[in-house]
Amino acid sequence: MSDLALKWVALGTTIALFAILALLHRRFHVNFSIRVIIATAFGIAVGVVFKGNTDYASAFGDVWSNAIKAIVVPLLVFSVISSITGLGSSLKLRSIGIKSVVFLLLNTLTAALLALGLGLLFNVGKGFSWTQTSGTSTTDVPGVLDTLIGLFPSNFVGNWSENQVVPVVIFALLVALAFNQSSRTDRGSRAVAPFKAFVDAGNVVFSKATQIVVGFTPYATLALIAAAVSNSVVSALLPLVTVLIVAYIALALQLFIVQPAILSAAAHVNPLYFFKAFWPTGVVAFTSESSIGTIPVTVRQLRRSGVSEDIASFVASLGANLGMPGCAGIWPVLLAVFAIQSQGLNYSIGQYLLLIALALLVSIGTVGVPGTATVTATALFASAGLPVAFIAVSQPISQIVDMGRTAVNVAGAANTAYIVASGEHELDRDLYAQRRQWVDDDAAVESVSSAENEPAPASEGEPAAAGSHAALLHLTPQESLQGTGGESCGVDDGQHSKESAKRAVKEAA
């Protein structure tokens, strides 16, 4: 059979497996995480059977990745503006902002130190023979001054089109601060009220759009895993097994020991409850490999466990772009140790500490851009004088590690949100310790009304009344995992709404 025919057969097989995943969801109600695991197994099988012929099948994964990228900028613009305009006084904003940045960067620092220690302990890179080929291309990393200038917006539309997240976030911060300044007087507050309503509505819409895209993660996982397995060469992966293992050891220690210790010390809470609340968010982060795509689920779980909505939205959005312990701490430092030891370079303690400082610095200058882990590693290598082309050696395992990196990134942001909320006295400790159940008051009121009255659907052409921010996103933890409120593409057949309303009545009672 020709390669072209095999590609078409691979595509047909992939579509048939998509149908099975859809059947598991709609008829058997298999939860999100189980469907992702099944999709992973399907993807491995397709990649092995159709080795080198998954080009057509992988297109589904590419479409999903592009959809996530398309939502990034508008989601952040509305999320950041909505969060900061709801924080109130500039003094409170300054306090929350400083605490958030400090603890996010502390996570990155501890992760970098952990990666350095484990890399040296396991002698990562020793015995690995590598030479740079003449045809290897390198990635240009701008100088310090150019990097600093590039952090600020120059053309909002241009920054948006190129997915330059940091300038967009800074632009959103400027707009939000301008709003807070304008709303200090009663007259100014009335004048900017429509803008606030627009921003809050946009935040709801784009959060829901992100949930819908994340809901297609099992199908994208199948396609992307199939492509990864199909295009991988086993012999290229073997020398990197040690790096892969050490990376996951570092990620596990950061996630389950270091960050909980910081949380316990700073917020004086039991970290076990953190993991109970974080579980749905962690699954989405691990499977979707998108910190930004996980923001809506992160915010939802933070609110359910006692963090105020303003702090949850602000820190979750900031944490998706700053202080990423997985992508900016563990991965670039571990690769640097791998490169140093494989080349037999004699680094002193002072040089290794300088490496950590450089990692922390470049993590600020390269946050939020596509391929963050590769970019931060490239910037670190260039700053430390290591061969940038060496990073290409790690690409066969980078995608495998990225799942763990993303989960640790999101956990670091959630961890910081609890600490900041505790410091600002806006952490409901009863909700955090699960001594009482969280009830979304606005959603419960609307659900009770819906259950009692069940008004007739709006006539054709008549828009439904817009509910509150909370009501529109009233999802159970499992539904948050699915990202679509339990329905395909966010389309509700009516039965689900009735069941949700009845459930809310019981909770309110």
Q: H helices of 366-457, where?
A: 372-384, 395-423, 429-432, 441-453
Q: Which residue has the tokens 């960050």?
A: 259
Q: Which residue has the tokens 């851009």?
A: 369
Place 417 in a pLDDT band, splitting at 50, 70 and 90. very high
Res. 147: pLDDT tops 70: no
Q: What is the pLDDT of residue 72?
A: 67
Q: What is the mean pLDDT of residues 412-420?
A: 95
For the chain, the farthest-separated pair of C-alpha atoms sits apart, in whole angstroms, at 76
Contact present, 496 and 224 (Cβ < 8 Å): no
Q: What is the mean pLDDT of residues 451-467?
A: 44
Q: What is the pLDDT of residue 478?
A: 36
- The pLDDT mean for the chain works out to 77
Q: Answer positive or negative: Cα dihedral of 346, 351, 356, 358.
A: negative
Contact present, 109 and 360 (Cβ < 8 Å): yes
- Between 368 and 37, residue with greater pLDDT: 37
Q: H helices of 238-347, where?
A: 241-253, 259-267, 271-288, 295-304, 309-319, 331-342
Question: pLDDT tens, 317-339?
Answer: 788 767 789 988 999 999 999 98
Rounded CA Rg of the chain? 24
- Between 332 and 502, residue with greater pLDDT: 332
Q: What is the pLDDT of residue 445?
A: 47
Least confident among 228-237, 349-358, 412-421, 437-446? 437-446
Place 360 in a pLDDT band, splitting at 50, 70 and 90. confident
Place 412 in a pLDDT band, splitting at 50, 70 and 90. very high
Q: Name, in order, each residue with C-beta under 8 angstroms of 257's C-beta and a sequence gap of 6 or more.
A: none
- Between 479 and 55, residue with greater pLDDT: 55
The DSSP result for 245-269, as a single string, is HHHHHHHHHIIIIIHHHHHHHHH--
Question: pLDDT tens, 199-225?
Answer: 989 988 887 887 788 788 789 878 887
413/404 Cα distance (integer angstroms) = 15
Residues shown for the chain? 509
Place 130 in a pLDDT band, splitting at 50, 70 and 90. low
Place 451 in a pLDDT band, splitting at 50, 70 and 90. low
Question: pLDDT tens, 6-52?
Answer: 999 999 999 999 999 999 999 999 877 688 778 888 988 999 999 98
Q: What is the pLDDT of residue 89?
A: 56
Question: Of the spans 106-115, 117-126, 396-405, 476-485, which averages the highest pLDDT?
Answer: 106-115
Q: What is the pLDDT of residue 335?
A: 93
Q: What is the mean pLDDT of residues 425-439?
A: 89
Place 194 in a pLDDT band, splitting at 50, 70 and 90. very high
Q: What is the pLDDT of residue 488?
A: 29
Q: Which amino acid is at 420?
A: V
Res. 83: pLDDT tops 90: no
Decide: helix, strand or coil at residue 176.
helix
Least confident among 249-253, 369-373, 374-378, 454-458? 454-458
Question: How many C-beta neighbours within 10 Å does residue 66 have?
Answer: 10
Place 133 in a pLDDT band, splitting at 50, 70 and 90. very low
Q: What is the mean pLDDT of residues 91-111?
A: 87
Helix, strand, coil % (nearest 5) of the chain? 75, 0, 25
291/322 Cα distance (integer angstroms) = 11
Contact present, 269 and 88 (Cβ < 8 Å): no
Residues pairing with 164 in the sheet: none
Kindly report the pTM of this predicted structure: 0.61
- Between 209 and 254, residue with greater pLDDT: 254
Among 258, 264, 304, 254, CA closest to 409: 254
Q: Which amino acid is at 29?
A: H
Question: How many C-beta neighbours within 10 Å does residue 88 have?
Answer: 12
Res. 140: pLDDT tops 60: no
**pLDDT > 70 in the chain, percent:** 73
Q: What is the mean pLDDT of residues 49-59?
A: 92
